[in-house]
Each structure stands twice: as C-alpha cells, then as structure tokens.
Amino acid sequence: MSKKLHFGRYDYAGFSAFTMYSVCSLSIPLMIVAIGRSLNFPMDEGGMGAGGILHMTRSAAMVITLLLCSFIAGIFGKRITTGLSVIFIGVGILCCSLAPAYWMLLPALLLAGLGEGICEGIATPFIQDLHPDSPERYVNIAHSFWSVGIVLAVLLAGGLLTLGVSWRIILGVAGVLTLLSSLFFLWKENPAEPYPETSEKVNVKKVLSDTAKICKASSFWRCCVAIFFGAGAEFGLTFWAAAYIELNFKTSAWVASLGTGMIALGMFIGRMTFGYFAKPHLLRYILLYAALGTIPVTLLLAWLRPGVLPPAMLFTVLFVLLFLAGIGIAPYWPSTQVYGVNAMPELNSTLLYIYFSAMGVPGCGFFAWLMGAVGDQWGISGAIMVVPCCLVIFVATVLAEGWIFAKPPKQPISAQAVKLQ
C-alpha cells in the first residue's frame, strides 16, 4: 500500500514553476498561426519551418543553462536559482509580446530559454530534495503540472484569440503571471520550515570526475537516446497539435486549443497515475507499453482528415485520439529520467538529471523544427508522421536498456542512495 502523500510550501512552489514554465512554453505554439500571420511567416504558405526555428532557438539557450545550472545552484542554492529562472522566463515572454518582427522573437525567446534551461535542470532535483524517500512519486506528480499549464494556456490562448484578443496581450498576461509565481520561491522563508538546501558548494574537479564516470556508463547513453526521441515525440506532438487541427480541419483557434487541451488532460491523468503507482522495478514496463500503445494512436492522427469519417464522428474521434496520445506520451520525460537514475545508483544523480534534460531539450527543439520542415514539404499530416517514427526508436532503446542489456536485479535504492549528492 502506497504511503500518503505530503505537500508543503516548496512543493507548491515547484508546481507553480512547472505550470508557468508550461504556459510560457506552449503559448507560442498555441498561437503560432496567429503570430505567423501577424509577423509575415504564415504557416500555410511555407512558414512552418520558421515556426520550428523559434523553438530550436529556445532550446539552444536552454541547453547552455542546463549544463551550467548545477554551478549556479551551488552558488545561490536551488530555491533562489529556481526563483530567478522563473523571472527570466517571464521577462522573455513579455519581450515576445512586444516583438515588432519575426527576428525580434529570437532574442526574446533566447532570454526565456535561459530561464527555462535552469528551471528544467533544477526543478526536478528541487522536488527530489524535498522527498528523498520516494522521489519517483513526487517527481511524476510535479511533472503533471506541466499539463495543468497546458490547460491554462489553452484557456488563455485559444479562448481569448477566438474572442478577438491580440496574441500580444495574451503573451503579456502570461509573462506577468510567470513573474508573480517567482514569489513562491523568493518570498521570505519560514525559519521553522526552510528548504533543505545542501551545504556543499560545487566542486569543479568532482563534477568533471563524476561526468567522466557517467560518460563511461553504457546505460547513460541508452537513456540519453531514449529521452531524446521520447521528448521529441512528446513535445513535437504538443507543439504542432494546434496548428495540425487548425490547418487540417479548418477550425477556429479555440477548437484547435481544445485539441491541445485534450493532450494535456491525457498527460495530466497519465502522470498522476504513473506517479502514484510507479515503482522502480515497473518503470521499464510503463515506458515500453506506453510507447507501444501510442504508435497506432499517432498513426491514426496522421491518417485522420475531413472526409474519411462522417462529420458527426470526426471531432469526437479526433479528441479521443488526442486524449489517448496524451496518456501515452505522459511518462517519457519524467519516468525515463527516474529510470536512468535508478539504473545507475553509483553515479551522481543530480548530474544525471541535468544531462538527461540536456538531451531531452535538444530533442524537443530538433523535432519541433523537423516536423515544421516536413510540414512545409508534405503537409501537416506528414509532419505528424514524425511522432510514431520517434516512438519506434524509443521502443527499441527501452528494449535494449531494460531487457537486452539489463543489469542483474538489485535491491530497491535506499533513500540515501537516491538523495542528491
């Protein structure tokens, strides 16, 4: 029987960070069609590649700060570092709302990406430090608030766009709300319940030594491949879902956003469920079966278009498929990270989380761009075909790591072994 979950101030701070990070990350793709028309790179006239470059730019900045975030956190502590990262995200999105041309979006997204990279690298161990006895449960639950952010973005972006509100105002509101969420981290601490910061400063020699050990582990590279393609499938589908619905089915921004919301709902339910029941020895099964189940779902999404089903059934089937896809892609990012850390307990878990994220983020950026480039050549349905292709490689990698090259069974990791070093 699973132990009762306990949440405190900094759990809710982490939830707010994941939520607003998601809102800001998804606001751009949800409004990409409107932004493209306004800034002269329309999606239906060869602008999908340019839209994908926006997230590639963001991803490049994220990788830089991901690789540096352990040093930054060593200087300022995880609490202050995460709070400052949220400020960077909010300011970057505010700058996007003021961009007069496409090229001005790029430096604004670079700024947001710098904050997102730190948040991506530190937010997961930030939660893990709070719950060293059962990190896999709390990590999955915290990541589920990414999906809460998607729902909020759907309400803000899709609903307000349909009502005629400018995308600039919507992005501005998202930026301000993100800045406010930083107060959960930066407000004065309660001395009786401080955040459990580690007192040790980052030792460069130790980081380099631990990194060398990590690079020698074959399991690390297999997990990196898995998270690269898993993250690409997850974010590629989420990034292009609204454009897929709006362009393929000729719908309003509101209906397109609702479709993205169905993915978010599926991801939220999936991550909450996987987070509650996930045990270290079950993670490989969760990852494998989730991916195998999602491949036919995404193939059906690529096939679905007006005329193949009666109009009364079309959108019902579409939304059900998007919901199932959301459940299927839910565990790829958090569970692959936790699986990798559990598979290599002798290695530095903080660095593992950072390096796994540093592989997942480029996967998001690369496949967001690739789907856009494919869409410019073969249409949005062709772009969706990239997702099941990613999942085939993900399945092969999970089979290799979890079964073919699996290490002999070990006792479950103790709290001390899982605790961040």
**Is residue 4 in some structural domain?**
no
Task: Tell me the one-letter amino acid at 32.
Answer: I
d(Cα 129, Cα 184) in Å, to the nearest integer?
A: 17
d(Cα 95, Cα 172) in Å, to the nearest integer?
A: 8
Average pLDDT of the chain to the nearest whole number: 87
| Burial class of residue 15 (count of CB atoms within 10 Å of its CB; 0-12, 13-18, 19+) | buried
Burial code (b: 16+ CB inside 10 Å, e: under 16) for 151-189 equals bbbbebbbebbeeeeebbebbbbbbebbbebbebbeeee
Q: What pLDDT score does 201 carry?
A: 65
Given a cut of 90, whether residue 268 has pLDDT beyond it is no
3-state secondary structure 287-335: HHHHHHHHHHHHHHHHHCCCCCCCHHHHHHHHHHHHHHHHHHHCCHHHH
Give the whole-number percent of the chain exceeding pLDDT 70. Answer: 94
* Strands (DSSP E) found in 304-411: none
Residue with tokens 């990350």: 25
CB 323 within 8 A of CB 263: yes
Instruction: Give, to the nearest 10 degrees, the angle between helix 283-303 and helix 311-329.
Output: 150
**Is residue 414 in some structural domain?**
no
Tokens describing residue 186: 């930066």
| Burial class of residue 68 (count of CB atoms within 10 Å of its CB; 0-12, 13-18, 19+) | middle
Mean pLDDT, residues 348-354 taken together: 85
- Domain of 247: which CATH number? 1.20.1250.20
Q: What pLDDT score does 121 carry?
A: 78
Give the whole-number percent of the chain exceeding pLDDT 90. Answer: 55
How big is the CA angle at 213 (ends 212 and 215), to the nearest 5 degrees?
A: 65
pLDDT in tens, 288-341: 999 999 999 999 999 999 988 998 899 999 999 999 999 999 999 889 998 999
- From the list 349, 356, 351, 352, the residue with the least C-alpha distance to 417 is 349
**Is residue 124 in some structural domain?**
yes
Q: What pLDDT score does 334 carry?
A: 84
Position 62 confidence tier, pLDDT thresholds 50, 70, 90: very high
**Is residue 415 in some structural domain?**
no
Position 61 confidence tier, pLDDT thresholds 50, 70, 90: very high
Mean pLDDT, residues 356-366 taken together: 91
Alpha carbon distances (Å) from 237 to 157, 175, 259: 18, 24, 11
Mean pLDDT, residues 384-411 taken together: 89
d(Cα 172, Cα 272) in Å, to the nearest integer?
A: 30
> Among 193-207, 249-263, 323-337, whose mean pLDDT is lowest?
193-207
How big is the CA angle at 16 (ends 227 and 92), to the nearest 5 degrees?
A: 75
Q: What pLDDT score does 234 carry?
A: 93
d(Cα 36, Cα 40) in Å, to the nearest integer?
A: 6
Given a cut of 80, whether residue 122 has pLDDT beyond it is yes
Q: What pLDDT score does 409 carry?
A: 52
Task: Tell me the one-letter amino acid at 50.
Answer: A
**Is residue 245 in some structural domain?**
yes
Domain that holds residue 32: 9-190+201-408
Give the number of domains in the chain.
Answer: 1
CB 376 within 8 A of CB 243: no
CB 24 within 8 A of CB 199: no
Mean pLDDT, residues 125-154 taken together: 78
Cα of first residue to Cα of last residue in the chain, in angstroms, is 29
**Is residue 112 in some structural domain?**
yes
This prediction has a pTM of: 0.82
Q: What pLDDT score does 415 carry?
A: 37
pLDDT in tens, 216-227: 999 999 999 999
Position 64 confidence tier, pLDDT thresholds 50, 70, 90: very high
CB 20 within 8 A of CB 149: yes
d(Cα 233, Cα 250) in Å, to the nearest integer?
A: 24
Given a cut of 90, whether residue 193 has pLDDT beyond it is no
- From the list 209, 177, 238, 286, the residue with the least C-alpha distance to 55 is 238
Alpha carbon distances (Å) from 163 to 149, 158, 160, 318: 21, 9, 5, 24
> Residue 228: in which H helix or E strand, if any?
helix 218-248
